[in-house]
Amino acid sequence: MNISIIGTGYVGLVTGVCLAYKGHKVFCADKQQHIIDSISRGVSPIYEQQLDSMLAHVIKNNDLKATTDLNQAVMESEITIIAVGTPYIGDQIALTYIKEAAHEVGAILKNKKDYHVVCVKSTVVPTTTDTIVLPILKQASGKELGDFGLVMNPEFLKEGEAVQDFLNPDRIIIGAIDEKSYEVFKNIYQYHFDAPIIKVNPRTAEMIKYASNSLLATLISFSNEIAAISEEAGGIDALKVMESVGLDKRFTPKVRGQLIKPDATKYLKPGRGFGGSCFPKDIKSLISFSVQRGYDPKILKSVIAVNELQIKRILCTLKKELSGIQDKTIAILGLAFKANTDDVRESQSIKLIRELKEAGTKLKCYDPAAVEKAKTELLGCDGVEFFNDYREALEGTDAAILMTDWEFITSIPFSEYVKFMKAPAVFDCCRALDHAKAKFYGVKYIGIGFRE
């Protein structure tokens, strides 16, 4: 099929490259010339595993064309996927870019004779596709449903694994406004992907995305609440607790003698809490959507509250363990919101750094990839030093806090903590280190959900 995509951000570009790789002809449209130039040269403007090589391949084969000419992209395609950003402003997502894209596509469809399906891929709260995008398309095109089609098709891409997630989906959700839209749109996936296609209406599709992220975040906050109770009681290892909970065969079934460990059990783990561009924003957006509709979402509010409390609890523990943190020097190991990415958006590590600064602590930060982005994020935050070598970050410190479980960090030998730190003490906020081994090397160990 010929497919045009509006927006070459994270979702749009991964979608475009993967669909081209699967044999479709793709136009990636964006207003920013420098991004289009980069894509046209086969160089990905974003960092994502496998994306560079696949982009180079589809550009070379002429299966993907990057352009600023949206008119041509829509005219020469049968489907247009809207994958523009929905920034979180105030307490809800802003639909400015979605509305703008719908206007532009609608205006182009006015002059197009053939049937055309528009797809909303950006994460939008329920009712956006049928009550906001549809009227704009009708008004801008002067046409009715049936002359054009409309679907909502959410993405489930994890940063760092986005290409594999796209190529091997668990489920393909098509929220179609009518039968004709569904029949045309499903051809994108039907013969190219091995996954169940779930046919629903647009509102249900929108809600599936929010419910999926909310449940995963709930697992994390649930684990952190169990960790907090365990800490207060003392002598309980919450990591062992949650690992054992996950071994229930309803989470981890045994198939032909083999334990099948679903990825979801990874979220049943105590840690420093969730961050990133999706979980915090999606849950908060669903909360405000729900409140506007007259339902007070108690669980979702608690998921956010527990996550925010996590930083405060880390701070309290530090104050207690170090007998105060003012004028202490602390190493922060890990700045990215999770391992294997340079993304610091909504990173718990950045939030902790701000709080520690406020409390008068000197900070020495290390991350194998996210130092530059963290510097920009923390611009104007004096007294925070950044290092590309963990040894320099550890040098002369009173404590080290493990905030991102990069292998570069979790594999640091305990002997290095002893060698470089003033007082070797590590606060494992990812529960990634072996506390018995730490003790053996003479390193004081504190862990989320672990108090001796």
> What residue ranges bind ligand UDX (CB under 6 A)?
155-159, 213, 216, 220, 266-267, 269, 271, 274-276, 278-279, 337-338
- Residue nearest ligand UDX (C-beta atom): 278
CB of residue 294 to ligand UDX, shortest distance in Å: 27
**Residues 190, 371 contacting (CB under 8 angstroms):** no
What does 321-353 look like in DSSP terms, one character per residue?
Answer: HTT--TT-EEEEE--SSSTT----TT-HHHHHH
d(CA 448, CA 427): 8
Q: DSSP characters for 383-428? A: TEEEESSHHHHHTT-SEEEE-S--HHHHTS-HHHHHHH-SS-EEEE
Q: Which is nearer to ligand UDX, 26 or 227 (CB)?
A: 227
Task: Find, among 438, 419, 426, 361, the residue nearest to 399 by Cα.
Answer: 426
Is 216 or 402 the residue whose CB approaches ligand UDX more closely? 216
Residue 274 or residue 420: which is nearer to ligand UDX going by CB?
274
- Residue closer to ligand UDX by CB (options 75, 197) is 197
134 vs 278, beta carbon nearer ligand UDX: 278
CB 112 to ligand UDX: min, Å? 31
* Cα separation of the two ends of the chain: 61
Catalytic-role residue among 28, 119, 278, 430: 278
430 catalytically annotated: no
Report, in Å, the least distance between residue 155 CB and ligand UDX: 6
Residue 365 beta carbon to ligand UDX: minimum distance, rounded to whole angstroms? 17
Q: How many C-beta atoms surround the C-beta of residue 135 within 10 A?
A: 12
* Least distance from ligand UDX to the Cβ atom of residue 415, Å: 28
Q: What is the DSSP letter of 45?
A: S
Crossing angle of helices 279-292/202-233, nearest 10°?
110
Alpha carbon dihedral 224, 230, 233, 236, in 10-degree steps, equals: -160
Tokens 């694994």 map to which residue? 161
Report, in Å, the least distance between residue 337 CB and ligand UDX: 5
Type of residue found at 289: F
- C-alpha span between 107 and 79 (Å, rounded): 15
Q: Closer to ligand UDX by CB, 157 or 421: give it.
A: 157
Residues annotated as catalytic are: 278
